[in-house]
Amino acid sequence: METPFEALRGTGVPVEPAAPGDAPRWVAYPGTTAEVAALMRVSAEHDLAVVPSGAGTKLAWGNPPERCDLLLRTGRLTSLEHSPGDLVVRVSAGLPVGTLASFPGVAQELALDDPLRAGTVGGTLATAVAGPRRFRYGTARDLLIGVTVVLADGTVATSGGRVVKNVAGYDLGKLLCGSYGTLGVVTEAVFRLHPVAPERRWITVEPDSLAALDGLVATLAASQAEPSAVEVDWPGAGSAPVVAALVEGTAARERAAAVRELAGGHPARVRDEAPGWWNTLPGDPGGVLCELRLPPAEVGRTLREVTACGPVRVRGSAASGVLWAAPPPDALPAFVSAVRDRLGGRLVVLAAPYDAIKGIDRWGPVGALPLMRRVKERFDPDRRLSPGRFAGGI
C-alpha cells in the first residue's frame, strides 16, 4: 500500500521530510492552485492535518495546532496580474504584501500596511492584520474583492471578482479573513488598488499626560484635513505618549500644518518621514504580543487602566480602536486577567512564549463562537486544517 509520503510525492509537488524535532512530518512547496488542490486531496485520503504557511512571520500567532502532518509552504505561489485601468490586482498568496506598495510605471498601490513587512498575502488575510492606514482605507477584508481557496477536500472555490465557482451562501473572502488557516488554503486574492499619494506628511504630538489623549485623538481623527491614520506610541508607565497623524494627497504640507494647530498647546511638529516606530509592533520578536479592541474615544482611559495592570508597552491605531500591547512574558497571566477584569473589552494574546501562555485562554470570550463552530463544521468537518489554532479550539 502506498504510504502518505509516497502519495504526496506522487502529486509531482516538491515534498520533503521536516527537520528533526519539527512538529510537521513533511513540508510541501506547491507552485499553483492545482498543486495545492492535489496535496489537499491526498491529505484528505490519508487523514493528514495541514497547516498553511507563507513567510512564517505569523506562524506563532494563535494556538499551536493540535497536530500537523503537512506544513504547506506557499512561497512558490508568486504570480501577479495587474489591471491598472481597473485599479485591480490579482496576486498569489505567497507574494509579500510589501511588493504591492508600488507597481512599475503606474502610481498605484495596495493601501494595506502589514507591520511585519515580510508577511505574505495569504498570511495577512489569515490573521486579518492591518496597520495605520486602516483608518482611511480599511483592512484586508475591506480591500479584498475576490479570492481563490482550496478547501479541506481539495475542492477549488472562487468568490468575488472574476468568479469561476462560488460556494453558495458564503462570502468566502470575509470568512477567510482572520480564520487562521482553519477553513481553507488561500491561493489567490484580488484587491482593489488606490492611487499613490503625491505627498505625505506626518504630524507628531507629545501630550503631557494620558488623560489628554482622548480629546486629542478624537480631534485629530475628525479634522477636515482628513488624516489617513492616527497612531499612538506609549513606552509604558513613567513615559509620555506620542501621537502621530498621517496626511497624504494633494496639499499635504498645508493640511498637515492645519492638523498641527489642533494639538491644543501640546508640542507638535510636521515631519517629512514617519516616526521610527510607525507601522511596527511593540516588544521583542518572539515575545508577547496582545491585541486590544476598544472604543476610539477611550484610548486615554484605556491606557490609564492598562497602567495599573502591570508593565507594558502599547502601540497602535488609536483612531481605529485597535492597540498592540507587549507585557513581559513573566507578567502575562496577571496582565491578561487584570485587563479583562478592568476593561471588559476584547483582549487577544496573539503570540507568546510557550511557558508564558500556559493556562491562559488566548482569545477570551467570543460571542460568535457557536456560529464559528458551525462554519468550521461546514468547511472542514474532519478538522484537518490547522486544527485547534483558532478561538474555542476550532
d(CA 388, CA 359): 15
Q: Assign 171 a pLDDT band (cuts: 50, 70, 90).
A: confident
DSSP letters of 49-116? Answer: -EEEESSSTTTTSSSPPS--SEEEE-TT---EEEEGGGTEEEEETTSBGGGGS-BTTB-EE-----SS
Per-residue pLDDT at 170 = 57
For residue 121, the surrounding DSSP H or E stretch is helix 121-127
Cβ–Cβ < 8 Å for 42, 8: yes
d(CA 263, CA 258): 10
Beta strands in 235-367 (DSSP E): 242-248, 268-271, 289-293, 313-317, 322-326, 346-351
Confidence of residue 166 (pLDDT cuts 50, 70, 90): very low
pLDDT of residue 211: 87
pLDDT for residue 274:
97
- pLDDT averaged over every residue in the chain: 92
What is the amino acid identity at position 266? Answer: H
pLDDT above 80 for 126: yes
Predicted confidence band at 117 (pLDDT cuts at 50, 70, 90)? confident
Instruction: Summarize pLDDT for 67-79 with one digit per residue, the tens.
Output: 999 999 999 999 9
Enumerate residues 6+ apart whose C-beta is below 8 A from 113: 130, 131, 132, 133, 134, 279
pLDDT at residue 229, rounded to an integer:
97
For range 278-303, the mean pLDDT = 90
Residue 289 and residue 335 in contact, taking contact as beta carbons nearer than 8 Å:
no
Kindly indicate the confidence band of residue 189, based on its pLDDT and cuts at 50, 70 and 90.
very high
- What distance in Å separates the CA atoms of residue 73 and residue 386, rounded to the nearest whole number? 13
Sequence-separated (6 or more) residues with CB below 8 Å from residue 194: 87, 108, 109, 110, 111, 137
Of 153, 8, 148, 6, the C-alpha closest to 71 is 8
Supply φ then ψ for residue 126, to 5 degrees.
-65, -35
CA angle, residues 352, 358, 363, in degrees to nearest 5: 65
- Residue range 148-158, pLDDT digits in tens: 999 999 999 99
Q: Is the confidence at residue 164, as pLDDT, over 60?
A: no
Cβ density class 236-249: b for 16+ within 10 Å, e for less: beeeebbbbbbbbb
Pick the more confident residue, 118 or 65.
65
| Residue pLDDT, tens place only, 217-251 | 999 999 999 999 999 999 988 888 999 999 999 99
For residues 186 and 122, the answer to whether their CB atoms sit within 8 Å is yes
- Look up cell 474555542; give the residue: 392
| Coil/strand/helix, residue 307 | helix
Per-residue pLDDT, 118: 86
